[in-house]
Amino acid sequence: MARKDLKVLEAIASLKNSNHRDTEDTEKVSFKLENVVPWGRSMQEYVRMFDLSPDDLKLKILDCGGGPASFNCEMNRQGYKVVSCDPIYQFSADEIVQRIRDTCQKIIDGVRVTYDSFVWQDIQSPEHLGEVRMAAMNKFIEDFPVGIREGRYLTDELPVLSFNRSQFDLVLCSHLLFTYSDQLSIDFHLASIVEMCRVAKEVRIFPLLVHFSGETSPLLEPIINNLHELGYKVEIKQVPYEFQKGGNQLLRVRS
């Protein structure tokens, strides 16, 4: 085992022994679609959330936790190469559509209640948000069966991915890590980021806020410190996208 891998395992083990909540109950249960709130963003949003340059688009990209986003579909239609992985890809398109139908209105209602925590500019209202998200998710649903056959949508799950070391140039992870800091432990975050760094030269994570509270994730600082200690290059970068107020930064991690 490489020296760096050993250091990573030791760091994660010591975090497990720290006083952060142990998430064995939440993280070891089998994955259930009813626990997922499928909510997919478009390629245009990904480009701004991750500050993707024209050259970035040409890279071998993994969209980790891609869910029902239309990024893969739209990129593929424009001739770019993206693989998306997510545990929901084990379900059929019909099952995912049903789950979207069951949750969509609830999300919009939730956004209405927390109206002031969003920037209503490009997306003008909770109703408009529903239309924009459904347009992206409909593109995903149409593309999903073809993308499964082409190996563009793979069932895979953090914190352990089945990809080879350096198989990708860039991993993108949107609205999973940090967003669910209230449900996913610090050891899960660290192990997931280290794993994404194993499969690509660079990892970008967006946003750095916790979902409903809109606060910067309390895990951000300790995670950055741990990654520095492990020898990773870490940078917080401003991006030209802000829907959740204050959600206009990404975390960039490189080996």
Ligand X SMILES: C[S@@+](CC[C@H](N)C(=O)[O-])C[C@H]1O[C@@H](n2cnc3c(N)ncnc32)[C@H](O)[C@@H]1O
- DSSP labels, 168-225: EEEEEEESSTTTTTTTS-HHHHHHHHHHHHHHEEEEEEE--B-TTT-PBPTTHHHHHH
Q: Are 249 and 236 in contact (CB under 8 A)?
A: yes
Q: Token digits for 243?
A: 């829907």
Residue 69 in contact with ligand X, rule: CB under 6 A: yes
Give the nearer residue to ligand X in terms of CB position, either 38 or 247: 38
- The one among 175, 189, 198, 204 contacting ligand X by CB under 6 A: 175
Binding mask 114-153 for ligand X (x = CB under 6 A): ----------------------------------------
Question: Which of 16, 42, 49, 45 is CA-nearest to residue 252?
Answer: 49
Name which position in 41, 48, 99, 204 contacts ligand X (CB under 6 A).
41
Query: Taking the complex as a whole, how short is the minimal distance between the CB of residue 3 and ligand X, in angstroms?
Result: 27
Determine the 3-state secondary structure of 233 from DSSP: strand
Q: Does 174 bind ligand X (CB under 6 A)?
A: yes
Binding of ligand X by 242 (CB under 6 A)? no
Report the residue number whose CB is nearest to ligand X: 67
Contacting residue, 100, 176, 197, 230, with ligand X by CB under 6 A:
176
Question: Residue from 15, 36, 197, 239 that binds ligand X (CB under 6 A)?
Answer: 36
Least Å from the CB of residue 69 to ligand X: 4
Full 3-state SS string of 234-255: EEEEECCCCCECCCCEEEEEEC
Binding site for ligand X (CB under 6 A): 36, 38-41, 64-67, 69, 86-88, 157-158, 174-176
